[in-house]
Amino acid sequence: MFDLSGRVALVTGASRGIGRATAVALASQGAWVAVNYATNAAAAEETLAAMRAAGGDGELLPFDVSDAAAVTAAVEGLVQRKGPMAIAVANAGVNVDALLLRAQEEDFDRMLATNVKGTLFLAKASVRSMMKARFGRIIAVSSVVGAMGNAGQTMYAASKSALVGMARSIAREYGSRGVTCNVVSPGYVETDMTAGMTDEVRKKLIEMTPAGRIGRPEDVAAAVVYLASAEAAWVTGQVLGVNGGLRM
């Protein structure tokens, strides 16, 4: 598809779901991929094995994306060991559904810390080496819910729409240095995060989706590979919807 040989990449939340598929897709195109996760080491090992089976390589790099010092230390260590960071994918995310009247501040704090601050910390830690190398691809994983809203997801939607303003500001700051920053905005994708969806909701979603199916992690991963490529140099500050047409 696109040649990412020689590029160092880091994917947060790569132990499962969309992050795993993204790490495997980047590795299969030649990138060397650091596989971040929070706690699930066994799942992260499976990601690394899948990357190797796809002809790529990388390493496990556990840290909590909401811990600024941990993110900085991990990225600085990676750059020292492997060279400039070329591709930073801020994918790690958490979701707690609640109607507005039942919203709990601690849940909101957790979503903001992981989804929003985690993206900022990764971008901040990565951008210096990207600027020096005059090549960088920062990609944030938002959600269709951030743009459409969804009853029961007020807090999650707020955390996901925040990424759009963040990415566009980063795109403006570093565009002249060869660094792009874009957002991938998936629709509903088959992962642990959506495993609790009822059959009724699933059926309704499929009816509303022109492509006639729920997404697969690989659908999103392919969009990330494109945005990570040299060929996407003139694409920055954009939101790429990957949702089967659910939102146009």
Q: Do residues 91 and 142 make contact, with C-beta atoms less than 8 angstroms apart?
A: no
Closest by CA position to 72, among listed 16, 129, 32 = 129
Start-end of H helices in the chain: 17-28, 41-53, 68-82, 105-111, 118-133, 144-148, 154-174, 199-208, 217-228
| Residue (39 or 176) nearer to ligand NAP, CB | 39
Exposure of 145 in the CB half-sphere (CA atoms within 13 A): 19
Host H or E run for residue 57: strand 57-60
| Residue (58 or 186) nearer to ligand NAP, CB | 186
Contacting positions for ligand NAP (CB under 6 A): 12-13, 15-19, 36-40, 43, 64-66, 91-95, 114, 141, 143, 186, 188-189, 191-194
Host H or E run for residue 138: strand 136-141
Strand partners, 184: 141, 240
Dig out the tokens for 5 from the structure: 């040989």
Question: Minimum Å distance from CB 153 to ligand NAP?
Answer: 10
Separation CA 153–CA 159 (nearest Å): 10
Question: Minimum Å distance from CB 178 to ligand NAP?
Answer: 26
Q: Which residue has the tokens 């811990």?
A: 67
Determine which one of 156, 174, 188, 226 is catalytic.
156
| Residue (12 or 209) nearer to ligand NAP, CB | 12
Question: Minimum Å distance from CB 179 to ligand NAP?
Answer: 21
Q: Do residues 49 and 98 make contact, with C-beta atoms less than 8 angstroms apart?
A: no
Question: Minimum Å distance from CB 54 to ligand NAP?
Answer: 18
Q: Greatest CA separation found in the chain?
A: 51
Question: 108 Cβ partners below 8 Å, 6+ apart?
Answer: 155, 158
| Residue (135 or 238) nearer to ligand NAP, CB | 238
| Residue (114 or 126) nearer to ligand NAP, CB | 114
Active site residue 174: no
Residues designated catalytic: 156
